Chains A and B, each alone.
Chain A
């Protein structure tokens, strides 16, 4: 299994500012993903964080708004840029397990952002 730590766990931000969320996995993983979950809603995939190369974004999400870094196999960041109240959501980091956990998707506790 993989243990995923995210920070901040929550934050209140002002419109127009940017915030970077950090994600640390306790073991090396091949694939990491970022999801968004609005309160009471389902999870929506934002992008795949690729180690050493640009992230792969899903339809409706762009790099200028959600720049992602992944410098190594255990760490990734997601920045939410030029925030508006519509960006208020929970952002979840996830990683695909390996070995006996192959195929399992592990999630961090999430970062709850409120944009005023």
Chain B
């Protein structure tokens, strides 16, 4: 089942902060975050694993609430380059290792 992202779209000015949320109805092994710019491939940002391990970019942070099956991506002091569509991908683990179900996406636009 597809995870639900919110908000659907965010408009920011440079330097402002944003939070993107991802919620799943299934138990999760991991949550992944990707950014996709128009006409380009999705690019890996962050992975959060059950148990608290995280891996990703230094300037982007995220959290994973295992009990609620929710994750949030925190974008601070936004830059123009942050513009794009952000997708969370959820992984239930087990025999589904590596198989991600992506949310519908959040369009982030950063203006000067």
Contacts and interface: CB of A to CB of B under 8 A. Distances in A.
A110 B43 CA distance: 13
A105 B98 contact: yes
Interface in A63-116: 92, 96, 103-110
Contacts of A58: 99
Nearest to B30: A103
Most chain A Cβ neighbours within 10 Å, of B30, B42, B43 = B42
Contacts of A48: 98-99
A43 interface: yes
Contacts, number: 50
A83 B47 CA distance: 36
Q: Is chain A's interface secondary structure helix, strand, loop, or mixed overall?
A: strand
Contact of A96 (B42, B43, B98): B98
Contact of B99 (A4, A42, A45): A45
B99 A107 contact: no
Interface residues of A, number: 20
A43 B44 contact: no
A105 B32 contact: yes
Interface in B71-100: 87, 89, 97-100
Contacts of A19: none
Nearest to B3: A42
B64 interface: no
Nearest to B101: A45
B41 A107 contact: yes
B47 A104 contact: yes
Interface in B7-46: 30, 32, 34, 40-44
B32 A42 contact: no
A48 B47 CA distance: 20
A92 B2 contact: no
Interface of B: 2, 30, 32, 34, 40-44, 47, 49, 55, 87, 89, 97-105
